[in-house]
């Protein structure tokens, strides 16, 4: 907080001072005018910036491309600039009329790429950096920015595990897993580490770059998992531009497993009961469901007592809606640039009778002001109003109550009354049970000042102060609810109150996060002689974060009409409250040095001296360097002369040491927490409990990254290639020393020690092709990446058998019993070792060590994990006259998902099972089955239910049509610069290798909110 106060004291006079400087401008007398046209088409160019060099005086061209400007003298120079065109400086030389032809800019060469604390030209870049532009992000109709990144960037592994509105749990990894601990990359939005990427308005994004190698070393102790840099759009010095877009999407789960109908369910349950009772003689066995009952389930003659409920179609809507509105205004004049943006997203949930709803408003104002020729100040303020509403019961619970609900239970009686469902948890009752509502209001602000020191050419100072504030109110409101139940004795429908909640309960939680970050940089750029280009930057940054929350709880409300705390009972037994706080800080210094010889030989050095409060004094500061070099072969005469089709060819390499500090704070202190209370007499007594033992030497993980790359552009962009090979050694990984520490020591949780070592290697390939054939222009961009980790050391508990060790295998690889089909006959069972509960019809577990016993020693370590090793993406763009089409395919392989839930069938808990599981199950009459019997027994997780999660999907497709200008004028919409209709979709088609019965991208058990398929129609207007 102290820093912030000091900043406040300081910022005010700064601003006053700066404003004073502006007023020094005086009037001019001479006038120059002219018209600006495009070099290729010859048409006039509106919105071109024209300024007098060395001043802030300027204007921009009008709709007819003309301008007129007062200049101090006719000896000055005019500067013409326009986005996408080469800048021109024209000495006036006494003229008063100057017509200018602007040439469009070659796209590849001078393209700028955002890197840590700066921008660099793509052609002289030496790091391994991928970039995606904002327009690629908005092709996806997904409301979540992160899901639009899936498959777009080589080396970025994104998996969408669920589709719940506002809770899409996207798992982002850069180059796979590097550590046992947190593998999340650092996300930096407009220069500040921020974690609300998923809440950004996709339309605000200018571009996203990913630093994958040593180039991330400038982010020091937080960079080992890679860095994602997001830059938001800003206004340009042009006439005001307005953009309006509206879209309406239909969304539905990609794939919900088919579950058993009532008759099949009952049959399988009876089988299971028979097995559980030790397979008695049929005469000695009363099935739970009689043949007569099963008959009724099948023929539907009695929907009240013998229903056949398809819970999925009873509870889920066929589709739900998602609407988006966006409004953007941007522009600028000679010394001011602005962008105002507003976005609204309204997403509905997929359940019937369910309060799930997500509403998001995004607003952003970004202004840059050139106060003087050398001083620019700016502000970038974004606010987000996020309202998320969910049922008061957890989502996974709800999906269990849909997918695993017994199909012999009624969901809704024929007369429309809602039945209790599984455990009185019928999802159709959710709207009666209260809600869990979040109102989340993050505000991010950035204030910047850049000063080009006028008396030292190339020297610039930059400072920024950022303050983020996020307030979140959560209201968890739960109230008694009722349902109806058919009474078999009276034949009436009794109204019954559920016992899960007998009184109104309310929990209000107020959470607050703040972050202040101050950043100051000095940079210098010069050219020595003709060819030695040098640029350097050093900076310092301090960050401080606070989190606190307060919670209040009441129950026994007089009425459920007013969900406010003060309506609850004031009896002390009915009240509760809680709260806590935490604080963290960083302090660091960083820098970059670039040298190139004639843009041919490139060299870069970056560093960060990083201090993190997570670690004890003495271990807090670390130095993280990164060095990279490049050689642009295409600048060499021997290439130019002999291989003229090579437009660009570059070799690059880098090496760096980076850190990962994403571990719990204060692990160096022995601390105690309140809790573990007890009761004496009839009263509570407080308790305290020791936390994890301390490790006084704890420090960060170290990652050493080595990259080699080759970039080529051939035949002027007809073919592009970018190939990267990389290797990473992660050491000092924080792990519990497991091997040596018996539980008999009784330690209250072992502290992490910096002992783990993981090696990671992989490659990335990007190929691009673009061409025009007549009116058809198209581009293809394919990328694939591979990443495989290998554990080198983890102080592993010695395993019983050598093939069980985790060391030497990828992170996340599990232990499974090997399966070899089914024990189809009693003879097969008798002739082979089997576990204590095995019966004929069970999965045949292989006796791996041939000791005649099936036990834990027969498990083996797989080389597979749920994180894909290969990911690929293929984007194709076509443009033909007014039409444009984008198809984006994405996929993965070498990923394996274990689903233990799908294995269950016929359990005594009446959980329903997937058709996939039951269809060809073993029964006494189906001995050649491929699936195990109902109530199957295995000693533990077997690879029978470990699935190859390979898939390819049509992730996005978009078809658009822009109305020709002629037509626009005809219908009286001539003021529209651009009017485009489009239809697009997400997760449209999926080809899965093994997981065909549910969405292959979800992790773990199938009882969760699946990802969504979205079909979207929209309109976009520029004027």
Partner 1 sequence: MKKLIPVFIILLFISCKQDILDISPQDRISENAVWSDVNLIKAYQNSLYNAIPHGFYIHMYSKYTDEAYDSAPCCGADIFARNTFTPENITAVSGGDFWGGYMYYWDHGYQYIRRINVFLEKMQGDDIQFEEKKRLVAETKFLRAFIYFKLIKRYGGVPIVKKAYDLGDDVQFKRSTFDECVAFINQDLSDAISDLPARYPSTDPNYGRATADAAKALRSRMFLYAASPLFNPSNDKQKWQKAADAAAALIGDEGGVDYYELYPDYQKLFELKTGEAQKEVIFARGFTSSNGHEAPMNNLNRRYGAYGGWWGSNGPTQNLVDDYDMTNGEQPFLKDGSINPNSGYDPQNPYKNRDPRLNATIIHDGSTFRGDTLEMWVAEDGSQWGKDSYKESGDNPRTNYVLKKFMPTEGPLSWDHTFTIEWPHFRLAEIYLNYAEAEFELGNEAKAREYVNKVRSRPSVNLPDIPSTVTGEDLRRRIYNERRVELAFEGQRFFDIRRWKIGGVVENRPIRGMDIAKNMSTKNKTYTPVKLLQKKPWEEKMNLLPIAQDEIRRNPELTQTPGW
Q: How far is the CB of 567 from partner 1 (least distance, A)?
A: 17
Residues 965/862, Cβ–Cβ less than 8 Å: no
The answer to whether 670 contacts partner 1 (rule: CB under 8 A) is yes
The answer to whether 96 contacts partner 1 (rule: CB under 8 A) is no
Q: How far is the CB of 941 from partner 1 (least distance, A)?
A: 11
**Could you say which of 637, 775, 909, 925 contacts partner 1 (CB under 8 A)?**
909
Candidates 118-126, 158-166, 324-332, 676-684; binding stretch for partner 1 (CB under 8 A)? 676-684
**Could you say which of 54, 394, 618, 690 contacts partner 1 (CB under 8 A)?**
690
The answer to whether 802 contacts partner 1 (rule: CB under 8 A) is no
**Could you say which of 342, 361, 441, 520 contacts partner 1 (CB under 8 A)?**
520
Of 851-880, binders to partner 1 (CB under 8 A) are 855-856
Of 929-988, binders to partner 1 (CB under 8 A) are 935, 937, 939-940
Residue 585 or 767: which CB sits closer to partner 1?
585
The answer to whether 800 contacts partner 1 (rule: CB under 8 A) is yes
The residue with tokens 């605000």 is 204
The answer to whether 277 contacts partner 1 (rule: CB under 8 A) is yes
Backbone angles phi, psi at 562, to 5 degrees: -115, 105
Of 101-160, binders to partner 1 (CB under 8 A) are none
Residue 114 burial (10 A CB sphere; 0-12, 13-18, 19+): buried
Contacts of 726 by beta carbon, 8 Å cutoff, 6+ apart: 128, 175, 212, 213, 705, 706, 707, 708, 761, 762, 763, 764
Binding mask 742-771 for partner 1 (x = CB under 8 A): xxxxxxx-xx--------------------
**Could you say which of 54, 300, 394, 454 contacts partner 1 (CB under 8 A)?**
454
Backbone angles phi, psi at 578, to 5 degrees: -160, 170
Residues 376/384, Cβ–Cβ less than 8 Å: no
Q: How far is the CB of 57 from partner 1 (least distance, A)?
A: 17
The answer to whether 304 contacts partner 1 (rule: CB under 8 A) is no
The answer to whether 375 contacts partner 1 (rule: CB under 8 A) is yes
Q: How far is the CB of 411 from partner 1 (least distance, A)?
A: 15
Residue 62 or 611: which CB sits closer to partner 1?
611
The answer to whether 678 contacts partner 1 (rule: CB under 8 A) is yes
Distances (CA, A) of 537 to 594, 607, 989: 9, 10, 48
The answer to whether 3 contacts partner 1 (rule: CB under 8 A) is yes
For residue 834, give both structure tokens.
């089997």
Residue 544 or 652: which CB sits closer to partner 1?
544
Strand partners for 891: 872, 952
The answer to whether 665 contacts partner 1 (rule: CB under 8 A) is yes
The residue with tokens 């009286």 is 972
**Could you say which of 93, 526, 738, 969 contacts partner 1 (CB under 8 A)?**
738
The candidate with the shortest Cα–Cα distance to 146, out of 136, 135, 137, 133, is: 137
Q: How far is the CB of 21 from partner 1 (least distance, A)?
A: 7
Residue 827 burial (10 A CB sphere; 0-12, 13-18, 19+): exposed
Q: How far is the CB of 748 from partner 1 (least distance, A)?
A: 6
The answer to whether 625 contacts partner 1 (rule: CB under 8 A) is no
Of 410-429, binders to partner 1 (CB under 8 A) are 423-424
Candidates 55-63, 286-294, 334-342, 390-398; binding stretch for partner 1 (CB under 8 A)? 286-294
Residue 31 or 671: which CB sits closer to partner 1?
671
Q: How many CA atoms lie within 13 A of 366 on its CB side?
A: 21
**Beta pairing, strands 505-528 & 58-60:** unpaired
**Could you say which of 72, 109, 458, 611 contacts partner 1 (CB under 8 A)?**
611
Residue 255 or 555: which CB sits closer to partner 1?
555
The answer to whether 638 contacts partner 1 (rule: CB under 8 A) is no
The answer to whether 374 contacts partner 1 (rule: CB under 8 A) is yes
Count of CB atoms situated within 10 Å of the CB of 75: 11
**Could you say which of 488, 528, 561, 773 contacts partner 1 (CB under 8 A)?**
488
Residue 10 or 645: which CB sits closer to partner 1?
10
CA distance 371 to 329: 22
The answer to whether 699 contacts partner 1 (rule: CB under 8 A) is no
The answer to whether 669 contacts partner 1 (rule: CB under 8 A) is yes
Q: Residue 260 carries which DSSP code?
A: -
Contacts of 171 by beta carbon, 8 Å cutoff, 6+ apart: 157, 158, 159, 160, 161, 1003
Strand partners for 545: 515, 584
Long-range contacts for 557-563 (Cβ within 8 Å, ≥24 apart)?
557/479, 557/503, 557/504, 557/505, 557/506, 559/504, 560/434, 560/479, 560/480, 560/504, 563/434, 563/475, 563/477, 563/506
């Amino acid at each position: 907080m102290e820093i912030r106060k000091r900043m406040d004291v300081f910022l005010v006079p700064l601003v006053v001072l700066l404003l004073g400087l502006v007023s020094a401008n005086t009037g001019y007398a001479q006038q120059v005018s002219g018209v600006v046209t495009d070099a290729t088409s010859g048409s006039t160019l509106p919105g071109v910036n024209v300024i007098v060099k060395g001043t802030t005086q300027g204007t921009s061209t009008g709709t007819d491309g003309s301008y007129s400007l007062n200049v101090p003298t006719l000896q000055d120079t005019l500067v013409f600039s326009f986005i996408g065109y080469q800048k021109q400086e024209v000495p006036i030389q006494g003229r008063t009329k100057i017509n200018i032809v602007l040439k469009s800019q070659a796209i590849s060469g001078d393209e700028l790429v955002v890197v840590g604390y700066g921008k660099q030209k793509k052609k002289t870049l030496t790091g391994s950096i991928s970039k995606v532009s904002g327009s690629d992000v908005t092709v996806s109709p997904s409301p979540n920015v992160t899901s639009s990144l899936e498959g777009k960037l080589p080396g970025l592994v994104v998996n969408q595990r669920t589709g719940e509105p506002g809770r899409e749990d996207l798992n982002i990894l850069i180059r796979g897993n590097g550590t046992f601990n947190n593998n999340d990359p650092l996300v930096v939005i407009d220069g500040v580490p921020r974690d609300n990427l998923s809440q950004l308005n996709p339309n605000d994004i200018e571009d996203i770059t990913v630093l994958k190698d040593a180039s991330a070393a400038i982010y020091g102790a937080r960079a080992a998992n890679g860095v994602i840099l997001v830059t938001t759009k800003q206004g340009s010095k042009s006439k005001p531009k307005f953009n309006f877009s509206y879209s309406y999407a239909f969304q539905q789960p990609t794939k919900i497993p088919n579950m058993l109908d009532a008759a099949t369910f009952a049959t399988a349950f009876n089988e299971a009961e028979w097995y559980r009772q030790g397979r008695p003689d049929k005469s000695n066995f009363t099935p739970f469901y009689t043949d007569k009952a099963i008959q009724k389930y099948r023929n539907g003659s009695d929907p009240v007592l013998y229903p056949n409920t398809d819970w999925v179609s009873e509870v889920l809507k066929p589709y739900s809606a998602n609407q988006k509105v966006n409004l953007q205004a941007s522009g600028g004049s000679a010394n001011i640039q602005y962008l105002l943006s507003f976005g609204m997203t309204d997403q509905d949930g997929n359940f019937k009778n369910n309060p799930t709803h997500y509403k998001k408003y995004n607003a952003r104002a970004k202004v840059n002001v050139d106060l003087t020729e050398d001083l620019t100040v700016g502000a970038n303020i974004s606010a987000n109003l996020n309202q998320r509403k969910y049922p008061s019961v957890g989502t996974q619970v709800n999906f269990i109550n849909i997918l695993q609900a017994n199909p012999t239970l009624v969901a809704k009686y024929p007369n429309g009354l809602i039945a209790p469902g599984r455990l009185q948890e019928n999802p159709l009752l959710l709207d009666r049970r209260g809600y869990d509502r979040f109102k989340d209001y993050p505000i991010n602000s950035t204030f910047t000042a850049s000063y080009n020191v006028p008396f030292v050419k190339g020297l610039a100072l930059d400072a920024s102060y950022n303050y983020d504030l996020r307030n979140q109110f959560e209201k968890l409101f739960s109230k008694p609810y009722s349902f109806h139940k058919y009474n078999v004795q009276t034949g009436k429908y009794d109204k019954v109150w559920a016992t899960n909640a007998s009184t109104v309960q309310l929990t209000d939680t107020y959470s607050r996060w703040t972050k202040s970050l101050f950043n100051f940089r000095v940079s210098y750029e010069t050219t020595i002689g003709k060819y030695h280009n040098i640029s350097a930057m050093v900076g310092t940054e301090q960050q401080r974060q606070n989190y606190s929350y307060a919670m209040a709880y009441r129950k026994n409300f007089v009425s459920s009409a007013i969900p406010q705390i003060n309506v609850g009972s004031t009896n002390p037994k009915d009240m509760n409250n809680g709260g806590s706080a935490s604080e963290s800080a960083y302090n660091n210094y960083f820098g970059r040095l670039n040298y190139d010889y004639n843009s041919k030989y490139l060299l870069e050095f970056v560093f960060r001296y990083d201090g993190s409060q997570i670690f004890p004094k003495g271990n807090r500061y670390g130095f993280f360097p990164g060095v990279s070099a490049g050689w642009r072969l295409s600048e060499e005469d021997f290439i130019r002369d002999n291989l003229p089709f090579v437009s660009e060819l570059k070799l690059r390499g880098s090496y760096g040491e980076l850190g990962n500090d994403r571990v719990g704070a204060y692990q160096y202190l022995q601390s105690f927490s309140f809790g573990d209370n007890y009761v004496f007499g009839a009263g509570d007594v407080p308790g305290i409990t020791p936390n994890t033992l301390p490790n006084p030497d704890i420090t960060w993980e170290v990652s050493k990254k080595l990259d080699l790359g080759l970039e080529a552009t051939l035949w002027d962009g007809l073919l592009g290639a970018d190939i990267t090979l990389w290797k990473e050694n992660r050491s000092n990984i924080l792990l519990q020393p497991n091997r040596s520490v018996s539980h008999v020591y009784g330690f209250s949780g072992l502290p992490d020690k910096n002992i783990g070592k993981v090696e990671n290697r992989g490659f990335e390939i990007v190929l691009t092709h673009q061409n025009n054939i007549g009116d058809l222009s198209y581009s293809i961009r394919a990328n694939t990446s591979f990443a495989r980790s290998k554990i080198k050391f983890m102080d592993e508990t010695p395993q019983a058998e050598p093939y069980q060790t985790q060391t030497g295998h990828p992170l996340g690889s599990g232990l499974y019993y090997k399966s070899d089909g089914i024990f189809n006959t009693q003879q097969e069972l008798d002739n082979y070792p089997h576990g204590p509960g095995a019966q004929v019809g069970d999965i045949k577990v292989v006796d791996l060590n041939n000791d005649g016993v099936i036990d834990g020693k027969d498990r083996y370590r797989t080389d597979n994990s749920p994180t894909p090793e290969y990911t690929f993406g293929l984007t194709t763009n076509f443009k033909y006259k007014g039409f444009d089409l984008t198809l984006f395919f994405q996929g993965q392989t070498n990923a394996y998902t274990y689903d233990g839930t799908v294995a269950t069938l016929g359990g005594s808990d009446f959980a329903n099972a997937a058709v996939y599981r039951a269809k060809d199950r073993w029964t006494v009459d189906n001995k050649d089955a491929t699936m195990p019997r109902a109530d199957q027994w295995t000693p533990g997780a077997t690879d029978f239910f470990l699935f190859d999660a390979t898939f390819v999907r049509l992730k996005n497709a978009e078809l658009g049509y822009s109305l020709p200008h002629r037509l626009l004028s005809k219908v009286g919409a001539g003021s529209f610069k651009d009017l485009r209709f489009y239809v697009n979709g997400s997760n449209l088609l999926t080809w899965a290798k093994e997981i065909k019965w549910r969405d292959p991208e979800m992790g773990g058990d199938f009882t969760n909110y699946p990802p969504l398929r979205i079909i979207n129609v929209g309109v976009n207007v520029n004027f």
